[in-house]
Amino acid sequence: MLQRLVFNRLLQQCLWGNPEPTRGLLCRFPTGLGAGHGSAWHRSKSTAVPDARERTLVAVKPDGVQRRLVGQIIQRFERRGFKLVGLKMLQVSEDLLSQHYCELKTKPFYPSLLRYMTSGPVVVMVWEGHNVVQTSRTMVGHTNPAEAQAGTVRGDFSVHVSRNVVHASDSLEGAQREIQLWFQGKDLLNWECCDQSSTSEA
Ligand code: UDP
Ligand code: MG
């Protein structure tokens, strides 16, 4: 109970206050707390924040940037009907990555994942739209490209799990956490897309 209270306070601070000191701390709480909070937050806000405002984080990883796939990946999300609300290219620090992949720290592939992800620039984006978290995961495809369907980004552009071109948040609460980790609130734009009523009901 106390743990959930502290978690909620930290998440609120991260969402609406100064996110810097709280980002790393959120990761140390059990996933269940985050999941519970995330869906409750989403439900409780669902009247104020229409579903069409759902957001997710997508990143073109260093192999995707090196292979000049950025344009094709952006095109897929635009073509599907999602709205780009944030975009930047950066050389990622180990510190940021260790927070981003905090759930994978004990995995045997973690050290090589960190080396790969810091080997060159990444292009990180926030996409908005109806059911964008789940749809993006479907568009990106299975983690292991050998199992990814043709037509997905990984299924079309990659062959090995260690070089799978793209990242997409895997849940609503994961998306919220990752967006706050990679972007300042001021760097995300609320803008009206002229075809909004043609791509979604909200
Ligand atoms: N990864 C890897 N080897 C593995 C599993 C994962 O190198 O056996 C890398 C891969 O780049 C993957 C990332 O670790 O995209 C994060 O793993 P996760 O299980 O979160 O997959 P994702 O959410 O990216 O599909
Ligand atoms: Mg993942």
Tell me: do 71 and 36 sit in the same domain: no
Q: What average pLDDT score do residues 130-148 get?
A: 98
Locate the ligand 1 atom nearest the alpha carbon of residue 103 and give its number.
Answer: 20
Q: What is the model's pLDDT at position 18?
A: 44
Tell me: do 112 and 41 sit in the same domain: no
Q: What is the model's pLDDT at position 106?
A: 98
pLDDT at residue 152 above 90?
yes
pLDDT at residue 7 above 80?
no
Domain total for the chain? 2
Q: What is the model's pLDDT at position 90?
A: 98
Q: Is the CB of 167 under 6 A from ligand 1?
A: yes
Counting ligand 1 atoms within 8 A of each CB, the residue from 102, 106, 138, 161 with the most, and so the one to mutate, is: 161
Counting ligand 1 atoms within 8 A of each CB, the residue from 103, 164, 173 with the most, and so the one to mutate, is: 164
The C-alpha angle 167, 168, 170, rounded to 5 degrees, equals: 125
Tell me: do 90 and 152 sit in the same domain: yes
Residues 92-121 pLDDT 10s:
999 999 999 999 999 999 999 999 999 999
Please give the residue range of the domain that contains residue 78. 55-200
Q: What is the model's pLDDT at position 25?
A: 56
Tell me: do 20 and 60 sit in the same domain: no
Residues 9-62 pLDDT 10s:
554 444 434 444 455 555 555 433 333 222 333 333 334 445 789 999 999 999
Residue 167 annotated as catalytic = yes
Tell me: do 126 and 172 sit in the same domain: yes
Catalytic residue among 42, 100, 160, 167: 167
User: 85: domain CATH number?
Assistant: 3.30.70.141
Tell me: do 80 and 175 sit in the same domain: yes
For atom 5 of ligand 1, the residue with the nearest CA is: 161
Tell me: do 77 and 113 sit in the same domain: yes
Instruction: Starting from the CA of residue 178, give the closest ligand.
Output: 2
Tell me: do 70 and 23 sit in the same domain: no
